[in-house]
Chains A and B, each alone.
Chain A
Amino acid sequence: MVAVTLEGVCVDYPVYGAESRSLKKSLLRGGIGSRVSHDAHRRITVHALRDISLQFREGDRIGLVGPNGAGKSTLLRTIAGIYEPARGRVRVEGRITSLLSLNVGIEEEATGLENITLRGLAAGMTKREIERHAADIADFTELGEYLNFPLYTYSAGMRARLAFAISTAIEPEILLMDEWIGAGDASFIEKARDRLNSMVDESGILVLASHNQNLIKRVCNRIVELEGGNVKHAGSTEAFFGAEMEKV
């Protein structure tokens, strides 16, 4: 059973840059300069997610939509277990593969093949598993000769191909993806969609955050729309885009 359950999840984010995260400030706090403040630590806090309750089940392909700063990436990171919620609970059943950034586990100076090893290890594969899958991965990327070139010669789309191929080489149970898949060209997105569909059909969950409506329409069967850290809308893709269409 693969499932993700969020119950009343709130995530508050301290912002240090705005207030300067220096030791001096901390030491001087409570000194003459301090003012009475409602926040015990006089921190600037962003309420990135407010009371989110959601339930994702097997076969769900969730499209996470909403304007910039709506909390999409924060929600993905919270599900992944990177951010601990201030209140509420996150329950995850199944193994999470998070593809939130294109550049993690990527070594600029190393070749594509070397990066398959490195990123494969980062994705939780053993050396042996990587060797077993290396040919498949190379095939899927369609990068051919480029795999022997160092990564700094790659475009964003080529990186997306490489990263996606490696991370999905071992069937993920719960796949979290942010935006970047859109960096690929049409034929890659088509290929990626097929792989995602077959993966989710075999009892997985996909959560994909994107501004690319076409991508969302083609890949996802459920939509969660966030706005200002709240769930504005949750329902089937048809219902969501149907409503959009009516508005227009």
Chain B
Amino acid sequence: MELADGASKDRSLGRAGGTEPTEYNRGMVPRKFSAAELALLDVVEGARRWELWVAMGVQDLKRRYRRSILGPLWLTLSLAILVAALSLLYGRLLNVPLDRYVPHLALGFIAWQFIQGVVTDSCNVFTGHKGWITNAPWPLSLFVYKMVLQNTLMMAHNALVYVGVAILFGIFAGLPGLLIIPGLALVFVNAVWVGLLFGAVCARFRDIPQIVQSVMRVAFFVTPVIWMPDQLGARSHLALFNPFTHFVELIRAPLLGQVPPALTWMLALAVTAVGCLVTWLFFVRFRRRVAYWL
């Protein structure tokens, strides 16, 4: 395809042109790109430059822990402390046996911290890279991939807590454990659209990050992380209205050796489809305005 060919010719992805489908030259052959093609090119070109965003993401994480002895293992340690402390208190309070509660809590936190990290970081994924975006025509998706990677690296560190818990309570996920692969894939796809959409909207309207923060604070308490959904008794379906419940479940259930229910898959797929569609329409229309909004 000419599109991909042109992209590899040119090292930096351009966003030049008028409001009409633009005359846009990539090195050799002049040709016209529509707004949709340019949006697609952005997403593809961003992925193609993985070496850069991997280096940026790793560098950022390193910077945060430079000169500390434990480094990013502080993440692991602080989650372990949190899980241990909450287990003793809430396990008793909610009257759930520890061998059920601790794995539920640990995996719940691992999943939740990733989800919350992605959603809140999305809000400044473009404003936080103003210097980059106004210096060269970067594919905007690049900064989103970097943000998702950073949160994934943090989740990987947190995952050590799961390993400890699994050994301690003799959990073996078995075959259902493989479902973590499609589960995580769905979660990542959602992380990308959330990053593109929230990143752009938050660049334009600076109140949105505040709103998102307060929504996420509430979301934590209505999502079954520190409590078990079956404790709602007859009202346990209430938790099902919360999309976060399902995304947490996509990560948690397989690692506990359970198969996430069909409803979870369907709702997660529905959210993915709607989210991608809305983001696509928005991105095609407003991608080139983001540099002006910063």
* Residues in A lying within 8 Å of B, measured CB to CB: 13-14, 16, 21-24, 26, 77-98, 100-101, 103-105, 107, 109-110, 114, 117-118, 121-124, 126-127
CB-nearest residue of chain B to A13: B292
B59 interface residue per 8 A CB criterion: yes
Complex Cα gap A101–B138 (Å): 14
Inter-chain contact A89/B17, CB cutoff 8 Å = yes
B205 interface residue per 8 A CB criterion: yes
**Interface residue tally for chain B (C-beta within 8 Å):** 41
- Given known A-B contacts A96-B12, A105-B132, A109-B63, A84 and B17 have beta carbons under 8 A apart: yes
Q: For A80, list chain B residues within 8 Å (CB).
A: 14, 16, 136-137
Complex Cα gap A121–B59 (Å): 13
- Given known A-B contacts A13-B292, A84-B16, A121 and B132 have beta carbons under 8 A apart: no
Q: For A100, list chain B residues within 8 Å (CB).
A: 134-136
Q: List 9 A-B contacts (CB under 8 A).
A: A82-B15, A82-B135, A84-B15, A85-B16, A87-B18, A90-B17, A92-B25, A104-B131, A105-B132
Inter-chain contact A88/B18, CB cutoff 8 Å = yes
Inter-chain contact B59/A104, CB cutoff 8 Å = no
- Given known A-B contacts A24-B207, A82-B133, A92 and B14 have beta carbons under 8 A apart: yes
B249 to chain A, nearest CB (A): 32
Inter-chain contact A118/B55, CB cutoff 8 Å = yes
Q: For B135, list chain A residues within 8 Å (CB).
A: 82, 98, 100-101, 104
**B residues 1-28 touching A (CB-CB < 8 Å):** 9-12, 14-19, 22-23, 25, 27
Complex Cα gap A123–B131 (Å): 14
B162 to chain A, nearest CB (A): 31
Q: For B23, list chain A residues within 8 Å (CB).
A: 89, 91
Q: For A82, list chain B residues within 8 Å (CB).
A: 15, 133-137, 291
B293 interface residue per 8 A CB criterion: yes
A118 to chain B, nearest CB (A): 6
Q: For B285, list chain A residues within 8 Å (CB).
A: none
**B residues 30-82 touching A (CB-CB < 8 Å):** 30, 49, 51-52, 55-56, 59, 62-63, 66
Q: For B133, list chain A residues within 8 Å (CB).
A: 82
B156 interface residue per 8 A CB criterion: no
- Given known A-B contacts A82-B137, A91-B25, A122 and B52 have beta carbons under 8 A apart: yes
- Given known A-B contacts A90-B16, A92-B25, A103 and B131 have beta carbons under 8 A apart: yes
In the A-B complex, the 5 residue pairs with the smallest Cβ-Cβ separation, listed nearest first, are A124-B11, A81-B14, A81-B16, A81-B137, A121-B52
B100 interface residue per 8 A CB criterion: no
Complex Cα gap A121–B55 (Å): 8
Set B51, B204, B292: member contacting A126, Cβ < 8 A:
B51
CB-nearest residue of chain B to A85: B18
Complex Cα gap A97–B10 (Å): 10
Complex Cα gap A93–B49 (Å): 22
- Given known A-B contacts A84-B17, A121-B55, A23 and B208 have beta carbons under 8 A apart: yes
Complex Cα gap A87–B134 (Å): 20
Inter-chain contact B51/A127, CB cutoff 8 Å = yes
Inter-chain contact A95/B27, CB cutoff 8 Å = yes
Complex Cα gap A100–B130 (Å): 13
Interface string of B130-156 (1 = CB under 8 A from A): 011111110000000000000000000
Inter-chain contact A23/B205, CB cutoff 8 Å = yes
Inter-chain contact B207/A83, CB cutoff 8 Å = no
Complex Cα gap A103–B56 (Å): 14
Determine which residue in B10, B19, B135 has the highest number of CB atoms from chain A within 10 A of its CB, and name it: B135
CB-nearest residue of chain A to B207: A23
A24 to chain B, nearest CB (A): 7
Complex Cα gap A93–B14 (Å): 12
B289 to chain A, nearest CB (A): 8
Inter-chain contact A83/B291, CB cutoff 8 Å = yes
Complex Cα gap A101–B294 (Å): 16
Q: For A16, list chain B residues within 8 Å (CB).
A: 293
Q: For A77, list chain B residues within 8 Å (CB).
A: 134, 291
CB-nearest residue of chain A to B287: A84
Complex Cα gap A150–B135 (Å): 23
Determine which residue in B22, B59, B136, B288 has the highest number of CB atoms from chain A within 10 A of its CB, and name it: B136
